[in-house]
Amino acid sequence: MREQDSLGRRERRMALTRAQLIDAAVRLCLEQGYEQTTVSQIADAVGVSERTFARYFPAKETVLLALVDDLTAAVADEMTRIPPEVPALGALRDAHLAVLGRVRSGGVPGLTVGGIAQLLRVLNAAPELRASALTTRLGISAVIAARTGAPPGHRDHELVAWAWAAITAAASGDHEEHEAATPLGPELFAERLDGAYRLFTGLAAGIAQP
């Protein structure tokens, strides 16, 4: 029992440190820019060494994309609840909207309204980081593979993953906060994601959209 309690405390401490590193990285990037932010600064902000930082994340980029990974994991779980007859691209839309809805109510561990809003601001301000985020199509491809039972990397899965990356980019990439009354948080992102999905599928079907 004592050993289990010790492991539980250690896991909670590690989860807290991970969350603190993510929060510090996002905050520093918003304050001074992605390029100007260093691993040393992120570690110092949390009060840990760079060696400790490396135990959690191999690079600055990965700490910032950790929230993207967490979102993908939540989407993968949600995909298991969507009927198999729903096409893969539609299932991705439904799963993302469901997860973003739960984020707004605090129902997704590790993801918060503020965290996603800040991450989207960082991604929009750092094109090189946004490009890296789009490579999460590999994770999305694995999500689709798990749904269909086919091996990851299948051509059809990769095509759907690329299409979803384009939809995500369209939903987030052109939002100018200084021109908008509402920051790009989970609620607005879900709305724009749904709109981009509808536009994409309409164009793919050869239907002219206004």
Question: Hey, which CATH number is domain 1-58, 3.40.50.720, 1.10.10.60, 3.90.180.10, 1.20.210.10?
Answer: 1.10.10.60
Q: SS3 for 1?
A: coil
Q: At what angle do helices 113-125 and 155-172 cross, to 10 degrees?
A: 90
Amino acid at 76: A
CA–CA dist 122, 65 (Å, integer): 10
Q: What is the DSSP letter of 207?
A: -
Residue 38 CB partners (closer than 8 Å, separation 6+): 60
pLDDT score, position 178 = 42
Residue owning tokens 């691993």: 39
| Residue 137 near residue 158, CB atoms below 8 Å | yes
Question: What are the pLDDT digits (tens) for 193-207?
Answer: 999 999 999 888 775
pLDDT score, position 173 = 67
CA–CA dist 183, 31 (Å, integer): 17
Among 1-15, 50-64, 101-115, name the most confident range: 50-64
Q: Model's pTM, two decimal places?
A: 0.80
| CATH superfamily of the domain spanning 63-210 | Tetracycline Repressor, domain 2 (1.10.357.10)
**Is pLDDT at 45 greater than 70 in this prediction?**
yes
Domain ranges in the chain? 1-58, 63-210
| 30's tokens | 């918003």
CA–CA dist 54, 68 (Å, integer): 19
Strands annotated E in the chain: none
The domains spanning 1-58 and 63-210 adopt the same CATH topology = no
Question: What are the pLDDT digits (tens) for 72-120?
Answer: 889 889 998 999 899 989 999 999 999 999 988 888 887 888 888 888 8
**Is pLDDT at 210 greater than 60 in this prediction?**
no
CA–CA dist 4, 143 (Å, integer): 32
Q: What is the DSSP letter of 170?
A: H
| 178's tokens | 């200084």
